[in-house]
Amino acid sequence: MKSKLLMLLGATATILASALAAQAQTALKWAHVYETSEPFHTESVWAAEEIAKRTEGRYKIDVFPASQLGKEADLNQGLKLGTVDIIISGSSFAAREYAPIGVTYFPYTFRDPAHLIAYTKSDVFKQLAKGYEEASGNHITAVTYYGTRHTTSNKPIAKCSDMQGLKMRVPDVPAYLAMPRACGANTTPIAFAEVYLALQNGTVEAQENPLTTIEAKKFFEVQKHIVLTGHIVDHLNTVVSKNLWSQLSDADKQIFTEVMQEAAERATKIIEEREQKLVQTFQERGVEVTEIDKADFEATVMDKVALEDFGYKKEDWEAIRAVK
């Protein structure tokens, strides 16, 4: 009788412990617009699992890829509304809250991926990230190299003036628009998820994105030329909502930051390795890949576009350019 009672008490204690653990677990939503094959997703899933391990299961993070919880603008709005807790998004969207951080998207700011990563460790990055946090309440934990943006088109492009009158899809972001408009393209904002169809049916004749995105979204199937304009060395921020960040203990903030930065480094490495192989891959698929006179493009942009027109500070841009 006594042993049965002990067994019953033990079972009850186990059930109660499980119930308490379930109550203590915090469920979080991590969202982005990228495909499940891309490292921005695979490394987010890794980070979600790693955070669960390092916090002994106190956080259960579900990752929602491919615009499942909305387009990128919706996800940024979701940080305020509480519909998402963590997102991966570009500084172009952060610039809607704090314009100066968008200077990183101004054409030909970064020399290469190494320059971008050096910037993320600099004082100017800390200042811009702090300005964004003060304006939005949201916290940037990590930065991932997204890729160097190039142009795809159904007509050959060798110099800036060849883009005159070209119907081109460009995100509705001032800095993204700078190069195409300086070169005379007719820019059209189309949602990321709808670009393939727009290229296929001729709504637009061109678009711009990194080589990895061109592959993942299969834009090469509906474009004849990949033009290595290299106009923006792009990146994504891992952003934690004001509500979540304010509730985390200092110890958990450190865990979230360390894991998210590790995930960003892992994704960055994958992107760099993929980019190095893709030019040959596209050529083997019959797509014409061409170099351009980058100096011509840069000179045209600097002649026709002023940093101040976008709300950027020239001193920030110069500080970034000076980062070694």
Is the pTM here over 0.85, yes or no?
no
Give the model confidence (pLDDT) of 284-302 as tens digits.
999 999 999 889 999 999 9
The two three-digit tokens of residue 249, written as one number: 């203990």
| pLDDT reading at 100 higher than 50 | yes
User: Is there a contact between 226 and 288 (Cβ–Cβ < 8 Å)?
Assistant: yes
pLDDT tens, 6-41?
455 455 545 544 444 444 799 999 999 998 989 999
Residue type, 144: T
Q: Look up residue 63 and give its two tokens.
A: 């990752």
Q: What is the pLDDT of residues 114-158, one digit of tens each?
A: 999 999 999 999 999 999 999 999 999 999 999 999 999 999 999
Question: What residue type is 278 in one-letter code?
Answer: L
Strands (E), 134-195: 139-153, 167-169, 186-188
Tokens of 18: 């499980």
Mind listing the pLDDT tens digit for each residue in 147-206?
999 999 999 999 999 999 999 999 887 788 999 999 999 999 998 889 999 999 999 999
- How far is Cα 246 from Cα 73, in angstroms, rounded to an integer? 23
In 132-162, which positions are buried (b, 16+ CB within 10 angstroms) versus exposed (e)? bbeebebbbbbbbbbbbbbbbbeeebeebeb
| Mean of the per-residue pLDDT values of the chain | 92
Q: What percent of the chain has pLDDT over 90?
A: 83
Residue 164 DSSP one-character state: T
Domains belonging to the chain, first-starting first, are 26-322 (3.40.190.170)
